[in-house]
């Protein structure tokens, strides 16, 4: 068994109810590390091009990383990979909490689910023993109900990752929720789980992770925690959570409001980090082994939703369910967030889709007859809360919204595609690239679609926070980027991809140098990786995920933004009058492709680049004769 890994992968054929074990592919672990990298290598090999994301050919892969469950700070994350039903491309979701370490302590690095179960089931993994259990009683239950029933019937406390009604009803942006409130949220992988009639994965155990240099690893982990404790960012995250950045983004004029019709929310004081802290915060919540409690344990203390408790909302949630819908009631935003967790929905896609529907209603594209008499008005907090339930249950208008913004626009037409705020089908997060141009490049090059955390370019662009993993990562002028700044995005994507593979939180990438990460990796795995190897590992995995997307039809033309960002100038704030210039984006793409070693005309990794990265077996798919 290699250091850092449990050495075993579980394969579950749901169609046959058959469970088998196999050794981890050590050659793949060497090249793709673990987590999203190792899972994607399996996905590429095992899911044929053109497969139906909700059909039996798709596979759902849970995978931990080699640092998951160790003493390294914030190394409690796991990845889920499948072909996305929302985008039709590579789908990846990542989550913290306690589930990742529990999966590893059950004795396995990951689980590959294939086929479709004839009836609802859940998988129980305890101390190396795997069992498929009937889940008829769980089907239709919310997340908290599902976790409660599983734990009540278990002989020991288990960590649970499950879907709610959103996943069962194949909402295209359904999430997988673990620890009741933590979401593997993006890309709709909860719908893949629902399509397989897999309700939950419950795991626990006492297996330990065998590290190459246990004592040196502990010393490195202690230094890592000391560095984090000295960081001003820790103070900010602990005090205000991720919503600490709302004022910073709003003051730059890039805080999406009313479905991106504006970049300034005039009621930001009612939903920013200070407001959340004063009105609903109970305590900070930390993931496994994390010295930063950036999670928000919360309770609604007044109004019609008084007494409801849970966790969150995060920055993205507050923006999408709040300002994007014109809502400034933090209690309503918090309640909508709770419901997304209970029903198993991605809050970014849910809020964005409701905001899109509101603008369609405002423009008369959605009529009262189509909405069943429901008034979808910006600023109506009760409608936002109610629509979450309707989407999850696919009731009335919720059945249409369950398709996401791209699916809705394809149904509605009438020019609505121009303001359906997604890239490649994935709804955009809360940073407007008209106010920070490099963010637009980050959205179009992210392999899973309109995503912010792939390269986290928003940190240096909007928040004036250089990412220590990439020296000189500050963006000089967000309004007027330099073409060579595309290299910063490439370097960030490569470095942060490694974090998705080793099982670490990307916030650590803000606070640590590459040398700190290398110490942990090398002492854990017994390797002698240097900085060049670290960055090349991320580059290799990034090209693998791009190759998956290319096989599904992605080319240069797909790397683009919603028309609104090109056509509609921001009406107010520091970025007033600005758009994302289409010719500028094409220049940035040229530079990005050159730095990546991709073909300028097609956006495909070149044969030379694939050979350089040891991915020559992908060449026939990318470049058929």
Domain boundaries, the chain: 8-204, 242-427, 437-622
Angle of helix 330-343 versus helix 347-362 axis, rounded to 10: 120
Q: Which residues contact residue 561 at a Cβ distance below 8 angstroms, ignoring those fewer than 6 apart?
A: 423, 433, 440, 443, 444, 580, 585
> What is 8-204's CATH number?
3.60.9.10
Enter the pTM of the model. 0.97
* CA distance linking residue 620 with residue 625, whole number of Å: 8
Asked whether the CA dihedral 384, 386, 392, 394 is positive or negative, the reply is negative
Q: What are 382's two structure tokens?
A: 């009760």
CA 384 to chain centre: 22
- Grouping H, G, I as helix, E, B as strand and the rest as coil, residue 391 is helix
- Grouping H, G, I as helix, E, B as strand and the rest as coil, residue 212 is coil
At residue 366, φ and ψ (nearest 5 deg) are -105, 120
Q: What is the pLDDT of residue 511?
A: 81
Residue 348 CB-half CA count within 13 A: 27
* CA distance linking residue 163 with residue 205, whole number of Å: 22
* CA distance linking residue 51 with residue 276, whole number of Å: 43
Give kind and range of the element (H or E) at residue 281: strand 281-285
* CA distance linking residue 64 with residue 17, whole number of Å: 23
Q: Give the burial class of 62: count Cβ atoms within 10 A of its Cβ; 0-12 exposed, 13-18 middle, 19 or more buried.
A: buried
* CA distance linking residue 581 with residue 432, whole number of Å: 13
Q: What is the pLDDT of residue 1?
A: 65
Single out the residue of 353, 321, 324, 323 nearest to residue 337, CA to CA.
321
Omega before 67 cis (within 30°)? no
Give kind and range of the element (H or E) at residue 309: strand 309-311
The architecture of the domain spanning 242-427 is Orthogonal Bundle (1.10)
Single out the residue of 425, 423, 399 nearest to residue 410, CA to CA.
425
Q: What is the largest CA-CA distance in the chain?
A: 68
Q: What are 26's two structure tokens?
A: 């050590």
Q: Give the burial class of 20: count Cβ atoms within 10 A of its Cβ; 0-12 exposed, 13-18 middle, 19 or more buried.
A: exposed
Q: Which residues of the chain are under the pLDDT cut of 70?
A: 1
At residue 621, φ and ψ (nearest 5 deg) are -75, -40
Dihedral in degrees, nearest 10, Cα atoms 545, 551, 553, 557? 50
Q: Give the burial class of 587: count Cβ atoms within 10 A of its Cβ; 0-12 exposed, 13-18 middle, 19 or more buried.
A: middle
Q: What is the pLDDT of residue 316?
A: 97
* CA distance linking residue 272 with residue 313, whole number of Å: 11
* CA distance linking residue 281 with residue 272, whole number of Å: 12
Q: What is the pLDDT of residue 580?
A: 97
> What is 437-622's CATH number?
1.10.599.10
Q: Are 259 and 358 in contact (CB under 8 A)?
A: yes
Q: What is the pLDDT of residue 510?
A: 78
Q: Are 215 and 189 in contact (CB under 8 A)?
A: no
């Amino acid at each position: 068994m290699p250091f850092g890994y449990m050495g075993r992968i579980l394969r579950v054929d749901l169609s046959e109810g058959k469970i088998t074990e196999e050794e981890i592919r050590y050659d793949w672990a060497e090249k793709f590390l673990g987590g999203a990298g190792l899972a994607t290598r399996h996905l590429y090999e095992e899911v044929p091009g053109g497969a139906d994301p909700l059909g039996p050919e798709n596979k759902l892969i849970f995978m931990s990383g080699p640092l998951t469950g160790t003493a390294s700070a914030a190394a409690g994350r796991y990845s889920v990979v499948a072909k996305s039903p929302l985008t039709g491309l590579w789908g990846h979701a990542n989550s913290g909490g306690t589930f990742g370490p529990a999966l590893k302590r059950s004795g396995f690095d990951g689980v590959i689910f294939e086929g479709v179960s004839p009836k609802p089931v859940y998988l129980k993994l305890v101390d190396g023993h795997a069992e498929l259990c009937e889940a008829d009683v769980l089907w239709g239950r919310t997340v908290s109900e599902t976790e409660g029933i599983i734990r009540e019937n278990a002989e020991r406390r288990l960590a649970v990752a499950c879907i709610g009604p959103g996943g069962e009803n194949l909402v295209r942006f359904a999430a997988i929720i673990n620890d009741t409130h933590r979401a593997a949220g993006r890309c709709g992988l909860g719908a893949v789980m629902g399509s397989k009639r897999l309700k939950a994965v419950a795991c626990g155990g006492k297996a330990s992770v065998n590290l190459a240099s246990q004592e040196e690893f502990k010393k490195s982990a202690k230094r890592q925690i000391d560095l984090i404790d000295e960081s001003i960012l820790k103070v900010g995250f602990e005090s205000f959570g991720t919503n600490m950045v709302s004022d910073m983004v709003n003051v730059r004029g890039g805080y999406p409001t009313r479905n991106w019709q504006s970049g300034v929310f005039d009621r930001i004081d009612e939903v920013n980090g200070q407001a959340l802290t004063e009105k609903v915060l109970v305590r900070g919540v930390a993931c496994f082994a994390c010295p930063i409690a950036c999670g928000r344990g919360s309770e609604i203390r007044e109004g019609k939703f008084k007494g409801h408790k849970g966790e969150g909302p995060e920055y993205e949630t507050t923006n999408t369910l709040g300002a994007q819908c014109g809502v400034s009631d933090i209690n309503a935003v918090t309640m909508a967030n709770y419901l997304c967790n209970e029903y198993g929905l991605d809050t970014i896609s849910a809020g964005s889709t409701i905001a899109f529907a509101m603008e369609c209603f405002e423009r008369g594209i959605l009529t009262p007859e189509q909405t069943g008499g429901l008034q979808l008005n910006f600023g109506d907090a009760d409608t936002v809360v109610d629509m979450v339930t309707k989407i999850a249950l696919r009731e009335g208008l919720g059945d249409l919204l369950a398709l996401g913004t791209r699916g809705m626009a394809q149904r509605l037409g009438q020019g609505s595609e121009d303001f359906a705020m997604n890239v490649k089908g994935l709804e955009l997060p809360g940073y407007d690239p008209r106010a920070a141009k490099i963010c637009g490049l980050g959205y179009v090059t992210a392999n899973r679609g309109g995503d912010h955390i792939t390269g986290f370019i928003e940190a240096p662009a909007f928040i004036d926070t250089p990412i220590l993993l990439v020296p000189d990562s500050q963006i000089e002028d967000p309004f007027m980027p330099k073409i060579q700044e595309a290299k910063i995005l490439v370097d960030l994507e490569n470095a942060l991809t490694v974090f998705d593979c080793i099982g670490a939180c990307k916030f650590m990438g803000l606070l640590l140098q590459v040398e700190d990460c290398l110490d942990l990796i090398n002492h854990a795995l017994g390797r002698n990786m240097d900085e060049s190897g670290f960055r090349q590992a991320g580059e290799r995995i990034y090209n693998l995920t791009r190759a998956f997307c290319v096989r599904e039809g992605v080319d240069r033309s797909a790397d683009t933004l919603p028309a609104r960002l090109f056509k509609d100038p921001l009406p107010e704030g520091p970025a007033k009058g600005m758009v994302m210039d289409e010719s500028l984006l094409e220049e940035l793409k040229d530079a990005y492709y050159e730095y990546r070693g991709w073909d300028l005309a097609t956006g495909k990794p070149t044969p030379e680049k694939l050979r350089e990265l040891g991915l020559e077996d992908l060449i026939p798919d990318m470049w058929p004769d």
